[in-house]
Chain A
């Protein structure tokens, strides 16, 4: 069962209630602190949903503007980071529905952490980025929302405006396509996905 990455981002420290109150009153410095603290999270979400840096920057900016406008509506029942995470997801999916994608050559984005991440045997960041980049648009967004961020199918259907059954099929096909791509890119026959036996039937 997927553990939602919401939990990971929710562990970011929230701004103090005094800082939030100042930002809500229009204090630019207080809002800048919020932008600086959460820009990595918001940009990461936008990049993973949209798959290129130009669109991700536009959508991340839109997410922060929505945050600014909706600050008075924030209620402390949810953590601030969870609230902003969902705003970033919504802004990115809306951007995807509204704007035509800017084609860009695939390029692995820089990570905040300096050490190479552990993603699985024979799988590195460049492999994942390339595999996601090559997925058809219709498969990529639901697959990212489901398996990168662990959203429930119903929520994905509502966010993308597609029927629930269609979303499930798209995620299943996205996984199948990723599985083949990652297996093709695998490091060696004895490692992880590359070592799996090929299917004997279709």
Chain B
């Protein structure tokens, strides 16, 4: 039996992303296909093991808290006015979080904030050129 159709749906099933009819169809198949039933059980076991792992607390490296405090004490007080450079980097970080990125071929990504930045820079150059060119044109135009 070609089970590939159902195998593709097992992940969607465990994620709760199948519709009612698709669930019924898969469950009917599972009732007489031990291979697919075994695969469903294995996916469940993997997810169970990963979730159990995620509930465990790993021991941080020795003196980790002291190292964090040494760096935190160099920071300006929380909520105090930030240095210009930090304000710029925080704003860029915020924009990155909010705007996301555009996927490119090859798994690369183009941050939307960069596109906006280039657009603004291009607009500034065009406006500057236009103003300068326009003024020179007016100066050269005979009355």
Contact = CB atoms under 8 A, between A and B. Distances in A.
A114 B5 CA distance: 45
B65 A112 contact: no
Given A28-B72, A90-B97, A113-B57, A118 B51 contact: no
Majority secondary structure, A binding face: helix
Contact of B71 (A5, A44, A65, A125): A65
A138 B107 contact: yes
A139 interface: no
Contact of B58 (A47, A153, A178, A193): A47
A161 B102 CA distance: 8
B45 A193 contact: yes
Interface in B44-68: 45-61, 64-65, 67-68
Contacts of B48: 119-120
B35 interface: yes
A200 B34 CA distance: 10
Interface string A95-125: 0000000000000011111000111110101
Given A43-B58, A161-B101, A166-B103, A2 B51 contact: yes
B4 interface: yes
B65 A120 contact: no
Contact of B49 (A71, A158, A166, A182): A182
Contact of B11 (A24, A171, A202): A171
Contacts of B93: 94
A71 B79 contact: yes
A26 to B, nearest CB: 4
A68 B72 contact: yes
B46 A147 contact: yes
Nearest to A68: B72
Contacts of A149: 54
Contacts of B43: 175, 179
Interface string A124-144: 010010000000001000011
Given A39-B64, A121-B45, A197-B34, 17 more contacts: A24-B78, A24-B79, A35-B65, A40-B60, A43-B59, A44-B56, A60-B60, A90-B97, A117-B52, A118-B52, A119-B53, A120-B49, A125-B53, A143-B50, A144-B50, A161-B111, A175-B46
20 contacts: A5-B55, A39-B64, A57-B61, A61-B64, A64-B68, A65-B72, A68-B78, A111-B58, A113-B56, A113-B57, A117-B56, A119-B53, A120-B45, A120-B48, A138-B107, A150-B54, A161-B111, A183-B42, A197-B34, A201-B1
Q: Which 5 A-B pairs have the closest CB atoms?
A: A148-B54, A72-B79, A26-B77, A43-B60, A110-B59
Interface of B: 1-4, 7, 11, 14-16, 34-35, 38-39, 41-43, 45-61, 64-65, 67-69, 71-73, 75, 77-79, 90, 93, 97, 100-101, 103, 107, 109, 111
